[in-house]
A and B are shown apart, each in its own frame.
Chain A
Amino acid sequence: MIDHVTAGYGPVVALADVSLTVRAGALLAVIGPNGAGKSTLLKLIAGLLKPDSGAITVLGAAPGVQAHAVAYVPQAEAVDWDFPVTVGEVAMMGRYARLGFGRWPGRRDHEIVDAALAKVGMAGQVDRQVGALSGGQRRRVFLAKAIAAEPELYLLDEPVTGVDATTQEELMDVLEAEARAGKTVIASTHDLMNAAQRFHEVAFVNGRIVATGPASLVLDRDLLSDTYGGHVLVLPGDTDHLFLDDAHHHDQAPGGEPHFHEGGR
């Protein structure tokens, strides 16, 4: 899928000589510290960013060619939440590319959007403005927009970051169901325990692909320290608890106090 790709922004190289193959029906977590190139990887696959070198194949074609079959959900910070749109309007945007210019949503589109909103537990909130929603509800609505696009490939940038534990579990249930239905799901996440427990595969990223494999790899402390640069503490005999030394702000010098990571934040 991705073959020896190097990409970046201006003079900054975000990913160097990256190769990655994702099978159809995969539920893949892309993990790594801030600035590791997780978002860059997703944007490359989405066709939002052109690689400086190397080749990418998405659903059998160059990125962007199969755009209608790809649903990309940006990080929550990339969206202006004061925007005057309702939950129903946002979910319907998922249909726009399939509809095409000059064609307007019909009954079938409304049925698909209603079903997508029901899947993510937002059925009763169609007329609420997105700005009035909680962080978790916003992620639910954006996932509904992605589902409404009826994609083959989901590209989700931090879909469960900053949401409560219930929302995280429910969103992961939805993604798992999509993967079981043969859709491919690639999601970046900060949350190592989430990656280990709810995803099927992981890719460790830090300017390069450090490793790929089954989700249980997350518990490999050598790989973790390779990816996170040694700021990981694993308590002996306690594989459920990982301590990351300030992985969220890894670009700066590690803060004094390590903080605890587990489901949500």
Chain B
Amino acid sequence: MDVVGFVADPLAYTFMQRGLVAAILIGIVCAVMGTFVVLKGLAFIGDAVSHAAFPGLVIAFMLGWPLYLGGAIASVGTALAIGFVSRRGRLRFDTTVGVLFAGTFALGILLFSTIKNYVADLLGYLLGNVLGIGIGDLVQVAVLGAVVLVIVIAIRKELLYATFDPLGAAASGLPVAGLEYLLLALLGVTIVVSIQAVGIVMVVAMLVTPAATAQLLVVRFERLMILAAALATVAAVSGLYISFYANLASGASIVLIETLFFLVALVLGPRTGLLSNRAARRVAAAEAH
């Protein structure tokens, strides 16, 4: 098969066109939000929030509401609740998140088990299937993703300062608490949008892995954000093509490509790379003289 055909043939299918657009959009939004998730150490919260979306989806299904709406209410609500508890709570933070995480997901499973018929829609949210995305869902992904991106990019300097030096930022007059709640709410929206593509279980990888990979490679904040988005885009496209040709699960393919990038950066990257550490030490030794 020639190269042009290899790239172009799958695009003849509507499901592949939609899937590609959705996967790239979701990849970029997740990577940009993921920059803050990684820098603020919110990975575990991301996982908790995505699992908390499940009862929201199930309840929305039972009530006949749009599934997105239920998921959004549950995940944004949980994200904000976690933020509130972390500011007020007496318990260790990860303990509280762990309790919420398992509790909300169990509620989702419990409610799910009360539904008599097999519900493929809801199961799809657990593992995700970006190739099955409908045009209505795609529009929702595009609109919500664009809103998140525009907000984050518009206030990135304030988010950066509040994340790096929260005390200094607050003392200089930035609304640090407000920014944190806003970031958590946007995280909730991002997760709901992404669940469609990679499912509840793997959303956290889309958030964390590209930014973590980029952090191994660059030391400037804005380059980190751009590189994370670029890595996510490449992973989305190559993951979907692999999924198409090898007939593999699409979400898992994307996540595994991202994981592969991370491992390569870990081994070869200039900051942590096993190969370059020796070279870096030589440079440092030379500078010290």
Interface, chain A (partner B; CB < 8 A): 43, 46-48, 64, 67-68, 70-74, 78-80, 83-86, 89-90, 93-94, 96-97, 99, 101-102, 104, 129, 131, 142, 145, 149, 155
Contacts and interface: CB of A to CB of B under 8 A. Distances in A.
A107 to B, nearest CB: 17
A251 B162 CA distance: 31
B158 A89 contact: no
Please report whether the interface of chain A is mostly helix, strand, loop or mixed according to DSSP: mixed
B220 A84 contact: yes
A81 B271 CA distance: 14
Size range of the chain B interface in the assembly: 20 to 34
A102 B168 contact: no
Main secondary structure of the interface of B (DSSP, over half): helix
Contacts of B93: none
Nearest to A64: B173
B171 A104 contact: no
Contact of A101 (B155, B170, B172, B224): B155
4 closest A-B pairs (Cβ-Cβ)?
A67-B173, A72-B171, A97-B172, A129-B219
Interface in B210-255: 215, 218-221, 224
B149 interface: no
A89 B220 CA distance: 8
B161 interface: yes
B167 interface: yes
Given A86-B220, A96-B157, A78 B172 contact: no
B160 A46 contact: no
B267 interface: no
A181 B221 CA distance: 34
B273 to A, nearest CB: 15
A83 B271 CA distance: 13
A130 to B, nearest CB: 9
Interface in B150-166: 154-155, 157-158, 160-161, 163-165
B155 A93 contact: no
Interface in B169-196: 169-174
Given A83-B39, A84-B219, A101-B155, A93 B171 contact: no
A96 B221 contact: no
23 contacts: A47-B171, A48-B167, A64-B173, A67-B171, A71-B168, A71-B171, A72-B172, A74-B165, A74-B167, A83-B164, A84-B215, A84-B221, A85-B160, A85-B221, A89-B160, A89-B221, A93-B157, A93-B169, A94-B172, A97-B169, A97-B172, A102-B154, A129-B219
